[in-house]
């Protein structure tokens, strides 16, 4: 599966759809995309259903985005995390921290 981040709009939400394996070699790209997207949208969703693998550096990029959004009172959700992403979120006990939704509607 190719790595990539695609942007789309759904109402007020900017959706970043992430695909591929997110590890140390690519997590900085995800971090930059999330932090760059936040100022330009009322709300941000990161779609993770096409993420085949994520490590702690990828999770850290999402945590940083979540914290930035929270400091701006901006909605930030993780959309439809794949089973592998959900497993890591649970291991890190972050499934209780992030707002996780299957869809935006």
Partner 1 sequence: MSAPALLRYRFAARAEALATMRHTLQDALRARAIHETEIARLVLAVDEASSNIIRHAYRDCTPGEIELTVTRARGSLRFRLRDFAPPVDSRCVRPRNLDECRPGGLGINLIDDIMDLWRLRALRRRCGNVLVMFKRLKARSGRGKRDR
Which residues are registered as beta bridge partners of 78?
A: 46, 100
What CA–CA distance (Å, rounded) separates 42 from 63? 18
Stretch that binds partner 1, among 4-12, 35-43, 73-81, 82-90 (CB under 8 A): 82-90
Residue 63 in contact with partner 1, rule: CB under 8 A: yes
Q: What tokens were used for 57?
A: 């550096």
Sole binder of partner 1 in the list 33, 35, 43, 60 (CB under 8 A): 60
Spatial contact of 79 and 15, defined as CB atoms under 8 Å apart: yes
Stretch that binds partner 1, among 8-16, 17-25, 39-47, 71-79 (CB under 8 A): 17-25
């Amino acid at each position: 599966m190719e790595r990539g981040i695609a942007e789309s709009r759904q109402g007020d939400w900017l959706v970043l759809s992430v695909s591929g394996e997110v590890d140390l070699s690519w997590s900085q790209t995800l971090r930059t995309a999330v932090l760059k997207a936040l100022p330009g949208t009322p709300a941000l969703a990161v779609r993770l259903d096409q993420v085949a693998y994520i490590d702690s550096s990828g999770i850290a990029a999402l945590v940083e985005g979540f914290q930035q959004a929270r400091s701006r009172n901006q909605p930030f959700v993780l959309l439809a995390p794949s089973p592998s992403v959900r497993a890591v979120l649970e291991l890190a006990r972050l499934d209780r921290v992030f707002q996780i939704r299957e869809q935006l509607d």
